[in-house]
Chain A
């Protein structure tokens, strides 16, 4: 397997022949595109419970009308009892679905709040597992063709910018989902030591050619269909992780899948562009 480690440093703007200002513009566009994807995903996720509730509302009205017709003459004939039982069965089914639908939507809102941390501080002690789970819920529609395995270790709360870090998880998980075929799997592993935490996203997809690995963080570099993305997900992810004084390591080989490992310090210290390369960089 080929591997590469990325450390903090200036953006590889020159590698793609793009100016630093151009890169910033691209990154800004990519963030908007990413937000658009997120909204589209949520719209789809919420469509199922909304569709069920929409149907159930109509069925309840129909059920009530039928009951009113039966009760109109204030006498329930024996043959009408079967109809009443049928209505009760339908209403019972409806209530079960409503429970599921309401819980699904409440869960989505919880995930979204957790993903965006709209109620929290910029830098906070964060449960990364919660962030990963919330991200998985939000992009569930893009993961239907794969099995997601969570191999969570015991990790402490990590002081970080949760909204930003969740964005990285989303990028890595979407990349993995797009790399695997129907029936493939994505495994998320976490572990920690006294000073750092590691989150690895492994897939058993098509893998990355060695000549492409070094170019993964170039702005606009993508091997995907042009409709999939702008080729900036990893660049943004690296920017975010650099900003946390962390790093992203990649191991991959064609046909053997890929592993993207994020390493973050447990305590937040803003990374600086152009800093001394990490001695553990490979």
Chain B
């Protein structure tokens, strides 16, 4: 099931987004108010899209997304912020491999489209990763076969 993780220290933002996404989509929605708890959950949760606030106590959104990238490199990362400034946007893109930068107050339809595109992107990356892995395994097998073939004739 496609899963969206929302991390915002304001419970009203998480709940509003959850209400909207659960009404309009079939995504599983996980909401967190503490970035560290959200990071800890990434060990066990399967997540396709991560939406994080910027200004949060304990860890800012860019640091959170950078850490999330290490744990779930295939997940699409989106910053939803009330602090719209160019420097932070550039930092987020460079440091956290950001997919999209959204400002509060957000437009639901736009957010839904960004998340849907993020889901597709994540699915494509996952599929690409699986195919590359399969290709590598096949290549390895071919190498082994070639080695055995050479050994058999020498």
List residues of A whose CB falls within 8 A of some B CB: 44, 47-52, 54-56, 58-59, 62-63, 66, 86-87, 89-91, 93-94, 96-97, 100-101, 104, 141, 144-145, 182-183
Contacts and interface: CB of A to CB of B under 8 A. Distances in A.
A47 B105 contact: yes
Contacts of B113: none
B55 interface: yes
Contacts of A86: 22-23
Contact of A62 (B23, B57, B106): B23
A144 B55 contact: yes
A62 B23 CA distance: 8
Nearest to A96: B15
A58 B12 contact: no
A97 B105 contact: no
B23 A56 contact: no
A198 B46 CA distance: 54
Interface string B101-113: 0001110100000
A62 B9 CA distance: 26
Interface residues of B, number: 24
> Which of B19, B56, B57 has its CB near the most chain A CB atoms (within 10 A)?
B19
A44 B84 CA distance: 11
Interface of B: 9-13, 15-20, 22-24, 55-58, 82-83, 104-106, 108
A63 B10 contact: no
A241 B140 CA distance: 79
A90 B82 contact: no
Given A48-B82, A55-B16, A93-B16, A63 B23 contact: yes
A55 B23 CA distance: 13
A91 B17 CA distance: 12
B19 A97 contact: yes
Given A44-B82, A58-B108, A141-B55, A52 B16 contact: yes
A66 B22 CA distance: 13
B108 A48 contact: no
10 contacts: A48-B104, A52-B10, A58-B108, A62-B23, A62-B108, A86-B23, A93-B16, A97-B12, A97-B19, A144-B57
